[in-house]
Amino acid sequence: MKKHLLLCLLLIFACSLLSAFDIGLVLDQNADYSGLGDDTTFMYKGILIPRVSGLFGETGAFIVSAGVNYQSNPWAAAPELLQTEISWRLGITDFRMGRMDYSDPLGYVASGLFDGMRISFDTPAGLFSAGGWYTGLLFKSRANIEMTEDEWTLNNSPLNYSDFVNTYFAPRRVLAALDWEHPGLAERVLAKFSLLGQFDLSGEDLHSQYLIGKLTIPIGVFAFDLGGCFELIQHTGTMNTAFAAEAGFSWNGILQGLRVMGRYTSGESDSMAAFLPFTTNVYGYVWKPKLSGLSVISLDYIARYHRTFAFGFSPNYYMYNGSGFDKRLLGGEAFAALYWSPVSDISINLGGGAFLPSLGNVAPDEKVFWRVELNMIISIF
């Protein structure tokens, strides 16, 4: 009788352990073929991501994920530790520690994976959060920090295993953030505000602070967005200011959606510096410039014609901001894509487009830059 009871207890314990863990594997592949006139380039890259997540205690959770990045032209491979964090939820308090995702309200000042900790308080007055992170242990391509010319050179140079430390890790910077979010301010407005500060530890002597806000107002099937960022930049003892803003609206139907957005980032002038984000997030599908000293008008349309099939169309137009140039219209691009997901674990996307300088007046005689890409994501378990 005792043996049968012990066996039942062991089976129950084993089942509880199995239900508390989630193990998975993600394979993300991307093939890119692009050209400028007669010059063409093919690039194949991918990442294999194993992960495990689970619960511990009554209020704790964890996730561990890693990846192996590989690419052609030239062939190279790089290991990487991805989202790896533990969290506790105690009443209104949420505490997280490890390598975690963070994004500012606008999404292009500071976003990505960072090493550190964050504490949040979910109160009737909104969600208050405070966090601090370090970047010097991240893979440079994941962190994507290019605040100086030396950092740009580091981020765009290949990984050299014979000089691993100096060619793998991201620049050493510290990021601190205070955030407040309210889901229904005045019973209507989704409000997000952040105060960020980044501090250089690598000797570049470049520090910056950001005051960021964004408001989203839903009205039926429409939503209106308005956001801005004021930046202070300290570099080698001098102080400068910069500014970024965005405005747009979106419409979400049952099987299709449309979003129109205008973004502005200050350029170099007598009274203002070029806007300098902490992480470099490119905008566009073909040209993919850094959002600094540019204005971008974008439109994103997507329609789902079947539960497994969708079509997207995204034109963008770029303008230069800053003094010293009489001509500011850089040109426009158009990109279209087909999205196919036969099952929830498989996604295949085929897209292509072209950037046309002839639509602007800065370099109207430049050749057309085009790009075709194929992406496949397979999730196992």
Tell me if 101 is assigned to some domain.
yes
Q: What does the pLDDT look like over 350-370, one tens digit per residue?
A: 999 999 999 999 999 999 999
How far apart, in whole angstroms, are the C-alpha atoms of residue 111 and residue 109?
Answer: 7
Closest CA to 137 of 75, 201, 51: 201
Contact 226/208 with Cβ under 8 angstroms? no
Supply the pLDDT for residue 133: 98
Indicate the burial class of 329 (C-beta count within 10 angstroms; 0-12, 13-18, 19 or more): middle
**pTM score:** 0.89
CA atoms within 13 A on the CB side of 128: 6
Supply the pLDDT for residue 247: 98
Tell me if 124 is assigned to some domain.
yes
Amino acid at position 26, single letter: V
Tell me if 32 is assigned to some domain.
no
Supply the pLDDT for residue 11: 40
Tell me if 331 is assigned to some domain.
yes
Contact 220/208 with Cβ under 8 angstroms? no
Question: Residue 369: which residues within 8 A CB-CB, separation 6 or more?
Answer: 34, 35, 36, 286, 287, 354, 355, 357
Instruction: Pick out the chain residues at pLDDT < 70.
Output: 1-20
Tell me if 86 is assigned to some domain.
yes
Tell me if 51 is assigned to some domain.
no
How far apart, in whole angstroms, are the C-alpha atoms of residue 319 and residue 330?
Answer: 5
Tell me if 3 is assigned to some domain.
no
Q: Number of folded domains in the chain?
A: 1
How far apart, in whole angstroms, are the C-alpha atoms of residue 63 and residue 55?
Answer: 9
Could you list the residue range(s) of the whole structural domain that residue 170 is in? Answer: 81-380
**Torsional sign, CA 262, 260, 278, 153:** negative
CATH number at residue 216: 2.40.160.100
Supply the pLDDT for residue 323: 79
